[in-house]
Amino acid sequence: QIGSRVQLSNEVESSVVSLKLFPRRQAEPYKLIELVTCQGSYKVSAGHRVAVPGPTVGAKRADSLQVGDFVIVGSRQRKLVKVIEVKERTDLYMVCFEPDGPVEMFPVSKWGMQTWGEPQGEEDRAASQHIEAPPVGFELLQLVGMPSCSAFELESAMPSEYED
């Protein structure tokens, strides 16, 4: 949303000054680049700027990156182990920040696997009363590397319909 504030990777506060939707095209899919590191796989538009290390953090277009190049994942340099060009029919968004700078992105899956929690037996209940509670809510988001993600942002990133 225009006016929303985000924290850049250098901890400077920035504002969203422009937001544009490029709707899914049926006739011709968009060219995307899947960038794979040892820490994960990230899909971005071909022209998307990706943070690369140097004396100061710079940017390179995703379609100019190659296997062996380094990118910034979290606060670390990671080598690209695969760079895959794909074509997809999807919505794309262009977001402009002021001041401009890198922000940490995280992939949002189209679908989430449904899982169950562990059943709790009598002995487990007694033992769990003496164990420190695991992180929940904001603490859990920080633990998995999403410290500035609100419940509203997560809910709005959730797909409204699923396609098989």
pLDDT tens-place string over residues 103-132: 998 777 777 777 777 787 766 555 555 555
Q: What is the mean pLDDT of residues 35-48?
A: 92
- pLDDT of 140 higher than 90: no
What H or E segment, with its residue span, contains residue 59? Answer: strand 58-61
The proportion of the chain whose per-residue pLDDT surpasses 90, expressed as a percent, equals 51
Q: Of 8-12, 76-80, 82-86, which range is least confident?
A: 8-12
- pLDDT on residue 28: 92
Q: Of 2-11, 71-80, 142-151, which range is least confident?
A: 142-151
Q: Is 80 helix (H, G, I), strand (E, B) or coil?
A: coil
**More confident of the two residues 104 and 148:** 104
Q: How far apart (Å, rounded) are the C-alpha atoms in residues 20 and 28?
A: 19
Q: Which two tokens stand for residue 36?
A: 């794979």
The closest alpha carbon to 139, from 131, 129, 149, belongs to 149
Q: How far apart (Å, rounded) are the C-alpha atoms in residues 119 and 116?
A: 8
Q: Which two tokens stand for residue 161?
A: 């319909």
Q: What's the whole-model pTM score?
A: 0.66
